Every structure is written in structure tokens, then in C-alpha cells.
Amino acid sequence: MLEELERKRAELMREVHAVSAAIKAYAETIGQHQKSAVKKGGTTKVGKKHTMSAATKKKLSLAAKARWAKVNAKKT
């Protein structure tokens, strides 16, 4: 089982390197003016920045506080 997982990891790493090389090659072909859009990890920035409404932020905050309260209640 372990050998199979290590073999799969190696295969996936080869694929990641191949995709990274393809992205780098493509970025070089589209020109210097768009190189700033290529991030360090080899991915390109696409689309606009997503923003959250105040109501959504509040819901997420309350949910996180409830999760932590549940964790802290189990500790005592």
C-alpha cells in the first residue's frame, strides 16, 4: 500500500512539474506586459477580486465562534 501511494505521489509530482513548465512557456509567449500576472507558484491571476458582504462576514464570524465555543466546552 505504501509503495503504491509513493508511486502515485511521484506520478502526480511529474504532472505538476509538466503543468508548471507549460504555464511558464505560455507566459513567455504572451509577452512581457502580461508577466506581472503570473504568480510565483506558476498560476495566473484571473478574474476580479471577490468581496464579502458585511452580513456574510458576520455569519462566518458567528459560526467560527460557535465552533470554538464547542471545542472549548469539551476541554472543561
Q: Which three cell numbers stand for residue 19?
A: 503543468
For residues 64 and 61, give the distance between their C-alpha atoms in angstroms, rounded to a whole number. 5
Please check whether residue 27 is in contact with residue 44, taking contact to mean a CB–CB distance below 8 angstroms: yes
Integer Cα distance of 4 and 12 in angstroms: 12
Q: pLDDT tens across 22-74, in order?
A: 888 888 888 655 545 555 555 566 677 788 999 999 999 999 999 999 989 88
Pair 34, 27: CB distance under 8 Å: yes
User: Residues 1-26: pLDDT tens digits?
Assistant: 889 999 999 999 999 999 999 888 88
